[in-house]
Amino acid sequence: MTTHDTPPEGIRRKTLLKAALLALPVPLLIGALPSVAEGTTPHGQPLTPTPFCDDGDHVTPAQTEGPYFKPNSPLRTSLLEPGTVGTRLTVTGYVFGLACTPIPNALMDFWQCDNGGVYDNAGNGFRGHQFTDAMGRFTLTTIVPGLYPGRTRHIHVKVQAPGRGVLTTQLYFPNEPRNASDTIFDPVLVMNVTQVGSAKNGTFDFLLNVPQNPPTSAPPTTRPPTSAPPTTAPPTTRPPTSAPPQGTWRAGVAYATGAQVSYNGLNYRCLQGHTSMVGWEPPNVPALWQRV
Ligand SMILES: [Fe+2]
């Protein structure tokens, strides 16, 4: 059974952000996020694009490095080793710059204590660095860190966009009793954590103080559909609900990379995991669907 911890309000907003990002086609993620919020004033003047990831939060705050950082951690996304004890934890998320464009190849260096609250200061246990992928995403496979005196549960991380400064900070867990008494704890840095079987999944998106040139506009074919039906839609003889597309593709489905669907007699393979939406039918978004 899956249960959910209750995150603070601000964290739930981050969750919405990520859900929206996961639903965006690749071209939007790479270069056109701010255009989502574009519009015009009553006088027809273009509004300044509102960064898509600006949900009221500011850049991810820095926190103390603490006494246990070591340079030259191994390159690895999983900190698990044979015999590792502890509750399995997978942390995923994005790294953004100030224009809310995901940052590929950002260096992320994680370190944490073990299940018993002990840091490996002699070796590289529970230490590892990785780079965000082409979509600005990261995945860390580890365990829920233990507790040690004076601190609440946390994971240390350094995040660095290519050629930019290093953000040193920490990630926290919701509903931890010690969150209230840890003077370093910052609720802005709490992950959204869900229980999945015997393991936990955490999500967190970093917003770095890194200037970016906002993209001007997205090609028309890559714009997401608005929530309202287009007024210029051709009339149909039957309500849309009774005229589903011919084939297996459906809106509102979380398609994984490699998934195959048919649409109007043609077969397609999913190139990028996403949640499908009306307007993003396979023929319309070649960045997401490839003819096979
Ligand atoms: Fe620590």
Arithmetic mean of pLDDT, 71-93: 97
What separation in Å is there between the alpha carbon of 65 and the centre of ligand 1? 8
Q: What percent of the chain has pLDDT over 70?
A: 65
Q: Which amino acid makes up residue 141?
A: T
Q: What is the pLDDT of residue 195?
A: 97
State in Å: Cα 211 to ligand 1 middle.
Answer: 30
Please give the distance, rounded to the nearest whole angstrom, from the Cα atom of residue 184 to the centre of ligand 1: 10
Single out the residue of 164, 168, 183, 115 nearest to residue 144, CA to CA: 115
Can you tell me whether residue 268 is helix, strand or coil? strand
Distance from Cα 54 to the centre of ligand 1, integer Å: 29
Rg (CA), the chain: 21
CA of 202 to the centre of ligand 1 (A): 18
| Residue 145, φ and ψ in degrees, nearest 5 | -65, 150
Q: What is the pLDDT of residue 175?
A: 97
Distance 110 CA to ligand 1 centre (A): 11
145 Cα: distance to centroid of ligand 1 (angstroms):
9
DSSP lists the bridge partners of residue 190 as: 172
If you average pLDDT over residues 35-63, what whole number do you get? 53
Residue 172 Cα to ligand 1 midpoint, Å, equals: 11
CATH topology for 7-31+51-207 is: Protocatechuate 3,4-Dioxygenase, subunit A (2.60.130)
Under CATH, which number does the domain 244-292 receive?
A: 2.10.10.20
Q: What's the confidence (pLDDT) of residue 31?
A: 35
pLDDT value at 193 more than 50: yes
pLDDT at 284: 65
CB atoms within 10 A of CB 256: 10
What local confidence, expressed as pLDDT, does residue 291 receive?
85
Name the band, by pLDDT with cuts 50, 70 and 90, for residue 121.
Answer: very high
Going from the Cα of 170 to the center of ligand 1, the distance in angstroms, rounded, reads: 8
Distance CA(275)–CA(178), nearest Å, equals 37
In the reported structure, the alpha carbon of residue 194 is separated from the centroid of ligand 1 by a whole-number distance in angstroms of: 22
Task: Say how many Å lie between the CA of residue 68 and the centre of ligand 1.
Answer: 7
Location of structure tokens 């990379």:
257
pLDDT at 117 over 80: yes
Given a cut of 50, is residue 238 above it in pLDDT?
A: no
CA of 27 relative to ligand 1 center, distance in Å: 38
Q: Rounded to whole angstroms, how far apart are CA atoms 96 and 52?
A: 10
Helices H / strands E in the chain, number of each: 2, 15
Least confident residue range of 112-126, 165-179, 268-282? 268-282
Pinpoint the residues of the chain covered by CATH 2.10.10.20. 244-292
- Long-range pairs of 276-285 with CB within 8 A, sequence gap ≥ 24: 276/249, 276/250, 276/251, 276/252, 277/23, 277/224, 277/225, 277/251, 277/252, 278/225, 278/251, 279/224, 279/225, 280/25, 280/224, 280/225, 280/251, 281/245, 281/249, 282/249, 284/221, 285/25, 285/221, 285/222
List Cα–Cα distances, 282 to 28, 82, 106, 207, 266, in angstroms: 16, 42, 31, 31, 9
Instruction: Report the alpha-carbon distance of residue 60 to residue 167 in Å, rounded.
Output: 8
Spatial contact of 13 and 55, defined as CB atoms under 8 Å apart: yes
Position 25 scores a pLDDT of 42
With tokens 């898509």, the residue in question is: 52
Specify the pTM: 0.60
pLDDT of residue 286: 58
Strands (E), 5-131: 88-96, 107-111, 127-131
Measured between alpha carbons, how far is 237 from 281 in angstroms, rounded to an integer? 21
Distance 109 CA to ligand 1 centre (A): 14
Nearest of 266, 250, 247, 268 to residue 258 by alpha carbon: 268
Segment among 1-10, 54-63, 170-179, 195-204 with least mean pLDDT = 1-10
How would residue 272 be classed by pLDDT, with cut points 50, 70 and 90? Answer: low
Is the model's pLDDT at 63 over the cut of 80? yes
Q: What is the mean pLDDT of the chain?
A: 77
For ligand 1, the distance from its centroid to the CA atom of residue 279, given in whole angstroms, is 46
User: Ligand 1 center to residue 69 CA distance, Å?
Assistant: 9
Residue 46 alpha carbon to ligand 1 centre in Å: 47
Give the pLDDT confidence of 7-25 residue by residue, as tens digits: 343 333 344 444 444 444 4
- Residue 218: count other Cβ atoms within 10 Å of its Cβ: 20
Within the chain, all domains assigned CATH 2.60.130.10 are found at 7-31+51-207
Distance of CA 71 from the midpoint of ligand 1 (Å): 15
Residues 6+ apart with CB under 8 A from 123: none
Q: Average the pLDDT over each of 26-35, 118-127, 178-187 and give the range with the smallest value.
A: 26-35
